[in-house]
Amino acid sequence: MDKNVILSTLMTYDVNKYKPLGIVRGINVHGVSLFRNIVSNLSSLFGGKNDAINKKVDDVYNEAIDELIKNALTMYPDVTMISGVEVTLSETKNVIICVATGTALTKYSTSSSSSSSSSSSSSVSLPRKAQTRKNIR
């Protein structure tokens, strides 16, 4: 990705500086191999940390964030920030699903922000979803 995009888990943004472009998402689905399933079951049986599954979850999580940014840049080339980023992980027996969502924002041009900078700084809250929240590293 050539362009830096700021990611924020905050559900608010300064309406004098940023203009909402739309909702964006990144989805990643990974299968869990039979070998990892066996190792995971043995780890559960004897206790302890399962590094193979932890690495897989980290990979799926990071790839969903990358997809979120890639989709935002494809849909809205002027995007400078994604606000309200939310990541949800789900798993079934052999599949890990990760969905990242957020609101794509762009900065107002300098001429437009200087005319509105005389007004007091205000912000708008994005609607909250009733889903589990994960912090982005």
- Structure pTM? 0.70
**83, β-bridge pairs:** 103
pLDDT digits (tens, 9 = 90+) for 56-70: 889 999 999 999 999
Whether residue 113 contacts residue 106, with contact meaning beta carbons closer than 8 Å, is answered with no
Mean pLDDT of 99-111: 88
pLDDT digits (tens, 9 = 90+) for 76-102: 999 999 999 999 999 887 788 999 999
| Domains annotated on the chain, with CATH | 6-116 (3.30.110.70)
Whether residue 98 contacts residue 61, with contact meaning beta carbons closer than 8 Å, is answered with yes
